[in-house]
């Protein structure tokens, strides 16, 4: 029920493609999406594999509920990350995961490397490996448009030039503007010579209890128009910009500042007024948080999102939504993660201003607010030209290379999202322990801080653990996190009963979430992760913003507490 029932195993070395029956025990323990991805990655990948070698498997898994008329259209991609050298995972919603399930598959596991640029075409049982030599080098949008023309009614995910060039933060794009952005898994697909995956399906999904499901739909649909989702419905993610800036939690100037003076110029309200021309939804969702902006004439972009307004707008000091939108589109076309793209640009600007990299190396001056220079810089990175090659290997590598560790803001090699860690203590802890590097979506911990009220350190850490477990469930069932205010573990347990026919208690679900988190940790430890990798950037402890910095002793206490609550030993190793 609701699972499509098969996982596709693709071996590019031998060009063999085999559907494998989904094991019901895997479903019960690892649920779907992220749970499947982490479990399969842990089981099939060899220790110490190079992220860009043909031995690093590329795994794509759909949420267990994807394809139903509820906001649950998620797929996740999993591999060893070229950006962090630990667990790489990224998620996107839209039409791709549902279509893959309609074709009969809950996921795809890709091994090996194709001899020539190729794309995988899936139409129910018919699966082919087509040449993509004519698409190689093309930007993401051109690729999607061309493949949609070639295969009418199909859904496409693809990489851009940055993925082909194995840039460590290359992303994967579907639906003209949805991205599995973080941790550089576009580069893994590129290293396999796979430009795109195209899918068209004609099969059906069912639910266990149809009548109860219809009742549940009425509830979910009602809440999709309630105040609980209003911000996303009206403004999309940029609805958060003004509030976060006011809370002095919007990082600027490569994290030397915590707010901007020009917030009304980059706010969600301004964007809605001036740029947005169309609202779109992912499959099964009435919220329609996807705002399409018109840059000019025939130039559109999905976004900018809160995160690109942070990464390009605040972090690179660009007080103009249209220009931010343009950079967002620029990153999309190259196929680089727009959070990392903005953050690494700000890092490079900081290096330039401090005289660590020079005009002669770049070929141009790189300063805050200079859109054209940032574009030139990102192009160098995406095509690995000159100094761009150093940045293409990731911020961690670049920081070592330029002996500028103290300037680079990242955890495990991943630049954080746009939530200031010195203002938001729970967020800081969550950045540190997140299995994929500094990420805001493993626990959404900024909400703990922004909600206000006095919480003890232990209460904060406990809530982070709880939220992490819950968020794993969202990413495994495929439920959109924007529904978090009305879909919690209780509702998820109910949905499990109705959709899958499982009798499961909310606490049991959270326990499964915890097991998945621990399995991800085991994977990371196997790949060499130590407690040192859970450290935050030194600047968070040394440089004040708004009179605040983190206390290292308190932070270490929180870290130990987190390990303890997870049942790991005091160095963070699962027992």
Partner 1 sequence: MHLEIDLEKCIDCKNCMLMCSFVNEKVFNPKLSRIKVSREDYTKLSWNVCQQHEVSLCKENSCIRACPRGAISKKGGRIVIDYELCNGCGKCVEVCPFNAIKLHPITKKPIVCVLCLNCVLTCKRGAIRIVDERGRDITEKVLKERGLK
Report the interface residues with partner 1, using CB under 8 A. 67-69, 95, 102, 145, 148, 153, 175-177, 201-207, 210, 221, 224-225, 277-286, 288, 292, 294, 300-302
Location of structure tokens 């959270």: 510
C-beta of 466: minimal distance to partner 1 in Å? 31
Q: Which is nearer to partner 1, 4 or 249 (CB)?
A: 4
C-beta of 98: minimal distance to partner 1 in Å? 8
Q: Work out the number of other CB atoms within 10 angstroms of the CB of residue 497.
A: 16
Q: Which is nearer to partner 1, 217 or 356 (CB)?
A: 217
**What's the rounded Cα separation, in Å, for the pair 464 and 445?**
6
In angstroms, the first-to-last Cα distance of the chain is: 35
Asked if the bond preceding 128 is cis, omega within 30° of 0, the reply is no
509 Cβ neighbours under 8 A, 6+ residues apart: 473, 489, 492, 493, 496
C-beta of 304: minimal distance to partner 1 in Å? 14
Listed residue (35, 23, 37, 28) closest to 469, CA to CA: 35
Location of structure tokens 């990082």: 251
Q: Where are the alpha helices (DSSP H) in 300-441?
A: 306-308, 321-334, 338-353, 359-362, 371-382, 388-392, 395-401, 425-433
C-beta of 144: minimal distance to partner 1 in Å? 10
C-beta of 228: minimal distance to partner 1 in Å? 15
Buried b (16+ CB within 10 A) or exposed e, 68-80: bebbbbbbbbbbb
Quick one: three-class SS letters along 501-514? CCCCCHHHHHHHHH
**What's the rounded Cα separation, in Å, for the pair 414 and 395?**
8
Q: Which is nearer to partner 1, 126 or 360 (CB)?
A: 126
Q: Which is nearer to partner 1, 140 or 193 (CB)?
A: 140
C-beta of 300: minimal distance to partner 1 in Å? 4
Q: Which is nearer to partner 1, 10 or 329 (CB)?
A: 329
C-beta of 512: minimal distance to partner 1 in Å? 25
Q: Which is nearer to partner 1, 225 or 505 (CB)?
A: 225
C-beta of 205: minimal distance to partner 1 in Å? 5
Strand pairing category for 6-11 and 107-111: parallel
Distance between alpha carbon 487 and the CA centroid of its chain, in Å? 21
Q: Which is nearer to partner 1, 37 or 201 (CB)?
A: 201
Q: Which is nearer to partner 1, 220 or 421 (CB)?
A: 220
Phi, psi (5° rounding) for residue 184?
75, 30
C-beta of 102: minimal distance to partner 1 in Å? 6
Burial of 218 (0-12, 13-18, 19+ CB in 10 A): exposed
**What's the rounded Cα separation, in Å, for the pair 419 and 407?**
17
Q: Which is nearer to partner 1, 286 or 486 (CB)?
A: 286
């Amino acid at each position: 029920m609701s699972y499509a029932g098969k996982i596709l195993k693709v071996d590019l070395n031998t060009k063999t493609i085999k559907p494998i029956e989904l094991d019901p025990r895997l479903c019960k323990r690892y649920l779907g999406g992220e749970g499947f991805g982490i479990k399969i990655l842990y089981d099939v990948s060899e220790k110490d594999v190079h992220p860009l070698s043909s031995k690093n498997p590329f795994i794509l898994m759909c949420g267990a509920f994807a394809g139903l008329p509820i906001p649950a259209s998620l797929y996740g991609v999993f591999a060893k990350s070229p950006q962090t050298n630990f667990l790489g995972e990224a998620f996107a919603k839209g039409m791709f995961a549902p279509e893959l399930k309609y074709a009969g598959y809950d996921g795809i596991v890709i091994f090996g490397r194709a001899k020539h640029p190729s794309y995988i075409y899936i139409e129910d049982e018919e699966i082919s490996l087509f040449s993509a030599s004519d698409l190689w080098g093309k930007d993401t949008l051109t690729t999607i448009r061309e493949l949609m023309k070639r295969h009418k009614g199909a859904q496409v995910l693809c990489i851009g030039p940055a993925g082909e060039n194995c840039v460590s933060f290359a992303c994967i794009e579907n639906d003209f503007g949805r991205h599995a952005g973080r941790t550089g898994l576009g580069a893994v697909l590129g290293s396999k010579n796979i430009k795109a995956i195209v899918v068209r399906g004609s099969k059906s999904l069912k639910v266990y209890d149809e009548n109860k499901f219809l009742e549940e739909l009425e509830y979910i649909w009602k809440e999709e128009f309630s105040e609980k989702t209003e911000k996303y419905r009206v403004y999309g993610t940029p609805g958060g910009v003004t509030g976060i800036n006011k809370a002095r939690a919007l990082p600027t100037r490569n994290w030397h500042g915590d707010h901007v003076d020009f917030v009304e110029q980059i706010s969600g309200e301004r964007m809605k007024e001036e740029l947005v021309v169309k609202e779109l939804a992912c499959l099964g969702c009435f919220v329609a948080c996807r705002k399409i902006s018109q840059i000019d004439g025939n130039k559109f972009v999905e976004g900018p999102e809160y995160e690109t307004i942070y990464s390009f707008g605040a972090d690179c000091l660009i007080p103009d939504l249209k220009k931010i939108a343009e950079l967002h589109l620029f990153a999309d076309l190259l196929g680089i993660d727009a959070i990392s793209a903005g953050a690494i640009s700000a890092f490079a600007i900081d290096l330039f201003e401090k005289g660590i990299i020079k005009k002669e190396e770049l070929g141009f001056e790189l300063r805050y607010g200079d859109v054209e220079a940032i574009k030139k810089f990102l192009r160098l990175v995406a095509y690995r030209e000159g100094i761009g090659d150093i940045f293409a290997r990731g911020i961690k590598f670049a920081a070592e290379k330029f002996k500028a560790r103290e300037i680079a803001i990242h955890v495990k090699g991943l630049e954080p999202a746009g939530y200031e860690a010195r203002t938001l203590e729970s967020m800081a802890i969550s950045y540190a322990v997140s299995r994929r590097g500094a990420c805001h979506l493993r626990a959404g911990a900024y909400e703990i801080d922004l909600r206000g009220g006095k919480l003890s350190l232990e209460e904060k850490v406990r809530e982070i653990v709880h939220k992490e477990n819950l968020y794993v469930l969202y990413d495994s069932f495929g439920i959109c996190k924007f529904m978090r205010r009305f879909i919690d573990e209780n509702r998820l347990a109910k949905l499990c009963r109705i959709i899958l026919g499982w009798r499961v208690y909310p606490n049991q679900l959270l326990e499964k979430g915890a097991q998945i988190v621990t399995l991800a940790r085991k994977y990371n430890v196997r790949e060499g992760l130590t407690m040192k990798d859970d450290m935050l950037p030194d600047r968070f402890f040394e440089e004040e913003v708004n009179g605040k910095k983190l206390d290292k002793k308190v932070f270490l206490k929180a870290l130990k507490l987190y390990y303890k609550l997870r049942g790991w030993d005091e160095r963070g190793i699962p027992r």
